[in-house]
A and B are shown apart, each in its own frame.
Chain A
């Protein structure tokens, strides 16, 4: 059975802290790994990762994939209250199936 696991499930940090969110997966015919941020309604896209060891970066957010160990991390440096959200990891397969993990709920307090 295809599975995506995220940890921690929830996290509370202070502004300025750095956080690392984890995503591991077991799927058949892996194609890519996606990270999303969900604040109130629909998730918004952050990164797509397909190759091991290549870091994707956007401002204070960065992510990397390890296809040998079947996991990815999402780093957020110098966190701000606007980073408070649910961060979702999803894996796509060669059959165009997209499976999401349970999400990490991040709260950044001033």
Chain B
């Protein structure tokens, strides 16, 4: 069966510090991978998605970046965090073409102080 891992579960970082959130998927190959951010009580904002290694589509121009160094690994990064980067970050995977359902990781709660 497939599982998706995200870490860390919670993170408190000062403004201006770097960020690296990792997401890995097990039990499937060549998944589509997605990063979302969710503000409190709100919907999911699509940040990046990837349909293959090294292929990243960016949806929201900002100080975040994403990389996919391996087939089942998706990393969200920032060189300098802003207060507005606080939120709940969710990674998801899906079998592409066509997508029937996305499977979400447990999420990372990021607080930037």
Contacts and interface: CB of A to CB of B under 8 A. Distances in A.
Chains A and B form a bound pair: yes
Nearest to B100: A48
Contacts of B36: 100
28 contacts: A31-B99, A32-B98, A32-B99, A34-B101, A42-B90, A42-B105, A43-B90, A43-B104, A45-B102, A48-B100, A86-B43, A88-B44, A92-B99, A96-B32, A96-B49, A96-B96, A96-B97, A98-B99, A98-B102, A99-B46, A100-B36, A100-B44, A100-B46, A101-B43, A102-B43, A103-B41, A103-B42, A103-B43
Q: Which interface class (under 10, 10 to 19, 20 to 34, 35 or more) fits B?
A: 20 to 34
Interface string B81-111: 0000000001010101111111111110000
Contacts of B98: 31-32, 92, 94
A96 B99 contact: yes
A90 B106 CA distance: 19
Contacts of B41: 86, 103, 105
Nearest to B91: A42
B44 to A, nearest CB: 4
A57 interface: no
A42 B44 contact: no
Interface of B: 32, 34, 36, 41-46, 49, 51, 57, 59, 90, 92, 94, 96-107
A41 B107 CA distance: 7
A97 interface: yes
Interface string A18-43: 00000000000001101000000111
A72 interface: no
